[in-house]
Structure 1
């Protein structure tokens, strides 16, 4: 058995930091505006970023900001472009 922790292990201090990043970005806490799907997606994304080497609060917030500005997925709204197109189609009389 090795005394070195696995690189996959996230210690409690890092879990607390990830939670704080999510709270700061609006994905955690009672004031969070994001829906549950968006919160889950943001948490999974942050976990992945952390495991890929983004280990500071600032780097993780920047990564979330870059992700939120992407065209493919709006984290806060929790909507995909296809959802927007379907909504527009229904608004215009589609069934």
Structure 2
């Protein structure tokens, strides 16, 4: 339970701060200097978004962090399923009594 929460918080932090675009441009040497935890967070986020830069893929392979990519893909699949399961009649941007729309 804690692990998905950490992933969600990391995802929000990375995208909210605009660090994702900067991270996309990082050279391999700069990525290599980062901790496994930080690299894993970025890998998960890139995988969730669906666009994994080659330098980051190379680093995932080098460090054996492909599980981080898998976590991002799984998180995206869960979120997509939740979105698909919401009734079509859920009003966008409006409150409703139907808990399936929350």
Q: Same fold (TM over 0.5)?
A: no
Larger radius of gyration: 1
TM-score by length of structure 2 reads 0.27
TM-score by length of structure 1 reads 0.28
Which protein has the bigger helix share? 2
